[in-house]
A and B are shown apart, each in its own frame.
Chain A
Amino acid sequence: MIFREVEDRDLIAKARRGDVEAYNLLVSRWEKRVFNYLLRLVSNREDALDVSQDVFLKAYQNLRKLDAPEKFAGWLFRIAHNEAFSLLRRRRPEAELIPEMGSPDSSGRLLPMELSLAVESALKRLSEDQREAVLLKIYQGFKFEEMAEILECPVSTVKSRLYTALELLKATLAPTVWRGDAQG
């Protein structure tokens, strides 16, 4: 992880000097994480891909404004957050369809794919702010302080959103997942 950070910093320095290939390498390291974060937020693959491209383009254009290269991840996700919510605001008037939860098979136990779908569905039932808090913490591993910087809000707000989301997820997933678990 330390070596990775050093390498990222080196790539950032090169990209700042106009080395596009160095930046492409940096993109290749982060694109999957950014794409998955955006995919869970905007719930559409094409939109997530388009926004991902916009994110990396904006990041490249503003790379010189990044004060601390070691904070690249948080800075990148802040751009991604802004781009995603910009899209969500434009899209808001549309009715949002929430898919049905996955249901257990005849044995009561959920298959891995079904479990994954159940989680995906449960995440979609959260508010955008709550979902984003879960994505940044559970799937991207950011600390509360880093999340507060990305979301531009106090740590207390981050914790509030995340804790509420976890309670909702527990309530949503428990009947499906644990019933199957108990029967299995």
Chain B
Amino acid sequence: MIIVARAILLSTAFALLPVTATAADVAAGQAKAKEVCQACHGLDGNSATPDYPKIGGQHPDYLAKALRDYKSGARKNPIMAGFAAALQPKDIENVAAYYGSQPPVLAPKF
């Protein structure tokens, strides 16, 4: 019984591990955003150019998926393909967390 309990505890601990291991670094994301993203999307994500989407306050997991798709080529955009190619998976998580943490310029519901 104790062994079973220990096994459950252990498996729970392992199940939680990836969540903490992939915690994004918002400060590192901001640094990367200044290098790579700011020129078009703005540092707060509120891009002034109509063709470039506003990303401030957007869901971080959606932003990360978009970047992964640009990097893999699943989503085709010649401009973003170049920038996403320069980002490592960790950079993608960090940048997505940073822009997601900015004051929302997008409304989820209306």
A binds B: no
B interface residues, Cβ below 8 angstroms from A:
none
A interface residues, Cβ below 8 angstroms from B:
none
